[in-house]
Structures are given as C-alpha cells and as structure tokens.
Amino acid sequence: MTLSSTQNAAAEPILRVQDSTVRFGSVVANDRVSFDLKPGEIHALLGENGAGKTTLMRVLAGLLQPDEGTLFLSGTPTTFHSVADSSAAGIGMVHQHFMLVKTMTVAENVSLGLKSAGRFFPNIARVGRELRALSEQHGLALDPNARVSDLSIGQQQRVEILKTLYRGANILILDEPTAVLTPGETDSLLELLRSLTEQGTSIIFISHKLREIRAIADRVTVLRHGKSISTFSLDQTDDATLTSAMIGRDTAPAVYNATATVRPRLEAVPRLELHGLSVTDRRGHTTLDSISFSVQPGEIFGIAGVDGNGQSELADVLSGVRRASAGSLELDGTDISSLGVAARITSGIAHVPEDRQSTGLILDLSIADNLAMETVGIAPLSKRGTLDRAAVRENALRIISEFDIRCSGPDQAVRELSGGNQQKVLLARAVTRSPRVLIVSQPTRGVDLGAVENIHRQILELAASGCAVVLISTELDEVLALASRVAVIYSGALLATYDRADVDLGTIGMNMAGQAA
C-alpha cells in the first residue's frame, strides 16, 4: 500500500472514476459518472435517494462491475472483479449497517476471514496487540478485547473503521456514517476522519446532510438521477447552489394537477386531522415528533423529505399498524386514534404501503386474492363466512380492466407481475373501496414510466372525487406534481408547510437537508 503525501493539491488523484455506467435491465443506475479523489482529501457524494450514490459505492467496493467506464488507481486503469480486489487495492468500506459479530470481541471480529491472522487457529492475541497500537496511533480509544455487544453504536462504527485500517486501507468509503449516530458521536466521528486524513488516508463520505458535508468535506460531487452533475469545492460554493444541483431546479416538473391551483372546498371540519402525533420506538428514540396537519376532502397533502426521516412511522400511525405514543387522529371530527387497522379500513381509510413486495402484497397469492384481501369478510366477496369464489374472480376481472393491469388473468400470482403492475394492484385495491382518506407512500418507487402516469392519474381522480389524500414520497418531483400543499418532514418533525403555489425549490431543498426556512 502506498501512503501518499498529504497536502499535495497537485498530486495525481489516488482514485479516479471515468464515465462509469451501470445498468440494471432497462434502468440506468449510473450514467457516465465521473469523479476523482485526491490523496488526503475528504470527498463527499451528495444526492437524493436513487441518485446513484449506492451504485457508485458498490462499483468502488468491487461488488459491481460497471458496464462502461474506467477506474484509475493512482493513474493506472484497474478492474475490480471482487471485494478482495478492491480491498487489496487499499479500499475499505464502512457500511451503514455494521458487519460485526456482536458476541465476539473487537480483535476476533477483525481476525474473521483475515488470512494473515492464521487460517485455522488465528493468532488473536497478536491481532489484538497490533490493533491496540493502531487504535492509539489514530486516537480511537478502542479495547481490542471488548465484546462488540458491549460497545455503543459510535464505538462499533470505530471498530469498522479500525478493521479497514488494519487491513491496510488508505481509501475509506463511508456510507451515510452519521445516520445511526447521536449528535455527539457525529462530532467525534468527524474529528476522527479529519485526523485520519492528516495521516494520509483519503475518504469518500456519502451523505445527504448538507451541514455535515460542509463541516468535513473538501470537495463534493453531486449526483442526480444517476448522473454526476458537478464537483464543487466547498469553500467556493454556497448551500443554495448545492441544493439546486441536488434537486435539479432546472428540471422542475410541470404541475399537472389541475386542482392544485384550485383551493379545495374548506369544510368546517377537515376530513383528516392530526394533533401532535408522536411515536417513540422501543429504544426510546422519538421517531415521529408531534406531527399536526389537516387535510380537506378533495385535497392532496404532500409530504416531502429524504428517506428515513419518519415517513414510514407516519404512514404506520395513520393506517393503524402502529400506535402513536402521544397525540390524536380525527376522521371527520371523530377521534379514531384507538382504532386498529381493520376498523380504520371499515371507517374509510385506505393505505398503500411504501414497500409493495413485503408489506403491501402477498406475492405468492393470485391477483384476485390480493385484490380481495381487505374486503373478503363482507358481501359480495363472502356470505356468512363462506367465500364466493365467483365474486372474488368477478371483482378481479373488473379491476384488472378498469386499472389496465397487465397480466394473464386474475389467477396469475402477483409475484410474476412487473413492479408497475404490482403497484397498480395495490393502489386499485385501495381506490375501488372509494375511501374517504387515502394514505399513499412511495407510489411510484421502482415503477416504469408508463405505470407512473397511470398511478398519478388514479390518485388525482380519487382526490377529484372528494377523497382526502396524504401523499408521502421522497420524490420531490412527484409531490410537487400532485399535491396542493406540501410539507417537509425532517427527523420525524414537519419542518415547514407550503401552498403548492408558494413553493420555492431552493428553500424546500434546504428544508429537506434539515435547515428551517
């Protein structure tokens, strides 16, 4: 491994990616992405979900081979066929979800799969001694004999970093390293990274938090829709430039919600009203922080935000899958906070979950059975507890033609459908009940363009017929195209709410990165 000299701005990039393209079928995950990493530099990758950050990282880690493009290591073209190649070249990955065996000690974890420790009887004591020295050298303060399960999350992350350093990494890739950390732990991680670069390590820092990137990185490459938009020197760029590069101001969608500019009729009592809904998870963390808003009949209320900021919890609390720890929920002025999922379905709330394959549909069952799932207990699909198979089939045939679901028939397993058609099944199940409220999460994630249009039209038509819609999406374009009001969720709280007409893309981008207006 080559420890490059620090502070040499003119030096050859230690790592350079040139026009890397990765395709999954017809989806282009990385489209001629280029960026370079200088020795001793912290280079941030910034982008929304699905922008291609993870794909690029997997190329660098040797998990994926690009279809086109070249990787240069200190100027030499290189191909990584496996993780072993990438790690031999001095690249170390710190995943967002740690790859540690919790019941083992730090030294044992580092020895796992490490040939130099000895194949059958690893010399863990020696590894431990060397780790202690390395840990002191970098000021990590880790005890190699500590059991991983006894360590805090922040310390476990240090173990991951130490592991890559011990294996000779001089390029560290950190994937959303602060997502799991407390603010205090974040500060000390950033401090550690800075001291590592002073000793010659180069770092790729993946994040969507502007504040951290500004605090730590030298340069930032912005990715959007699989393309590398631009690389900026942070000391010469302001936040507004970065956020507009990230969300793509120039590609802002046309508003094709005709009703978005028309105010929905204001009823004295809103259709759906949330009063300070909060959720505390099992570990005592507040994942949803006092959410309040109301939705009128016929209105689409959009919730924008970067993934993982409380969207799943909000959808779960509204649909009844999860109980709120505080606050209340009213439907047409009646408190429904204590109702379970089934009772909420009966009272007219429909829910399209974000993950259609694991929480929405039952993939092994037929289209007809999936469409019948919520209403199977009542006429016409069953009478006195006995299924009417003909009615179940009839129901499916009607919905299939009405919603243009492409399939071989109602008996086809949902598993065999394309993502777009699976989503149509899920949405159709909700829409055909003529719900009073629709909660829809990520309606078009991983769906082809034709289906996107179909799905958007269904949501708009449902709203036009008087349903109150809560649209939760990490696709800002989608929220802006459909919603008449837009709120930004960050860290479990609503940071700001705008009328669609008043939305300023720059401001909303800043909100999504955690900065209040």
Partner 1 sequence: MSQTPATSSKPAAWRTTVVRVTGGVEFWTIPVAILLAFIVGGVLMVVAGVNPFDAYAALVNGAFGTTQHVADTLIEATPLALIGVGIALCFRGGIFNVGAEGQFLLGGMAAALVGQALGTAPSIVTLLGMAIAAMIAGAAWAGIAALLKVYLGASETLTTIMLTYVATYLVSYLLNGPAKDPASPLAQTAPLTSSGLLPALLPGTTLHVGIILAVVVAIAAHLFLRRRVGGFQLIATGLNPVAARSAGLPVRRIFISVFLASGALAGLAGMVQVAGVQGKMIVNLSPGYGYTAIVVALLGRSSPLGALFAALFFGALSAGGASMETSVGVPASLVTIVQYLTVLLVIAYTAFRTLRRPSRTAEGEE
Beta strands 27-37 and 15-24, pairing class: antiparallel
Closest Cα partner for 429 from 416, 419, 445, 440? 440
The DSSP string of 415-466 is GGS-HHHHHHHHHHHHHTT--SEEEEESTTTT--HHHHHHHHHHHHHHHHTT
Cβ pair 169, 134 in contact under 8 A: no
**Residues 65-104 close enough to bind partner 1 by CB under 8 A:** 96
Residue nearer to partner 1 on the CB measure, 296 or 442: 442
Shortest distance, CB of residue 220 to partner 1, whole angstroms? 18
User: Binding partner 1 by CB under 8 A: which of 446, 452, 477, 515?
Assistant: 446
CB of 156 to partner 1, least distance (A): 16
State the angle between helix axes of 153-166 and 183-198 in degrees (0 to 180), rounded to the nearest 10: 20
Contact 71, 59 (CB under 8 A): yes
**What distance in Å separates the CA atoms of residue 461 and residue 455, rounded to the nearest whole number?**
10
Binding flags for partner 1, 259-298, as an x/- string (CB under 8 A): ----------------------x-----------------
Stretch of 51-59, 70-78, 81-89, 496-504 lying at the interface with partner 1 (CB under 8 A): 51-59
Scanning residues 1 to 40, which ones bind partner 1 (CB under 8 A)? Answer: 24, 27, 29
Distance CA 139, CA 379 (A): 69
Is residue 179 within the footprint of partner 1 (CB under 8 A)? yes
CA dist 339 and 49 (Å) reads 33
Asked if 467 and 435 count as a contact pair (C-beta separation under 8 A), the reply is yes
- Supply φ then ψ for residue 46, to 5 degrees: -120, 135
Specify the residue, 54 or 484, whose C-beta has the smaller distance to partner 1: 54
CB-nearer residue toward partner 1: 131 or 174: 174
Which one, 26 or 76, has the nearer CB to partner 1? 26
Contact 237, 440 (CB under 8 A): no
Distance CA 42, CA 195 (A): 11
Which of 158, 219, 351, 500 binds partner 1 (CB under 8 A)? It is: 351
Of the listed pieces 112-120, 325-333, 345-353, 477-485, which binds partner 1 according to CB under 8 A? 345-353
The answer to whether 50 contacts partner 1 (rule: CB under 8 A) is yes
Q: Which of 146, 181, 255, 341 binds partner 1 (CB under 8 A)?
A: 341
Nearer to partner 1, 4 or 312 (CB): 312
Should residue 118 be labelled a site residue for partner 1 when binding is judged by CB under 8 A? no
Q: Could you give the 3-state DSSP secondary structure of residue 261?
A: coil
Contact 10, 1 (CB under 8 A): no
- Please choose, out of 59-67, 100-108, 119-127, 354-362, the segment that lies near partner 1 by the rule CB under 8 A: 354-362
Q: Supply angle C-alpha 141, 282, 290, rounded to 5.
A: 105
Minimum Å distance from CB 320 to partner 1?
8
| Residue from 71, 159, 242, 372 in contact with partner 1 (CB under 8 A) | 372
When binding is defined by CB under 8 A, the residue of 6, 18, 34, 49 that contacts partner 1 is: 49
Taking the complex as a whole, the smallest distance from the CB of residue 382 to partner 1 amounts, in Å, to 5
With contacts defined by CB under 8 A, name the span among 46-54, 130-138, 236-244, 483-491 that binds partner 1: 46-54
Q: Which residues contact 190 (CB under 8 A, 6 or more apart)?
A: 212, 215, 216
| Binding footprint of partner 1 on the chain (CB under 8 A) | 24, 27, 29, 49-50, 52-55, 96, 176, 179, 281, 306-308, 312-313, 316, 319, 321-322, 340-342, 344-345, 351, 353-355, 357-365, 369, 372-374, 376-377, 382, 385-387, 419, 445-446
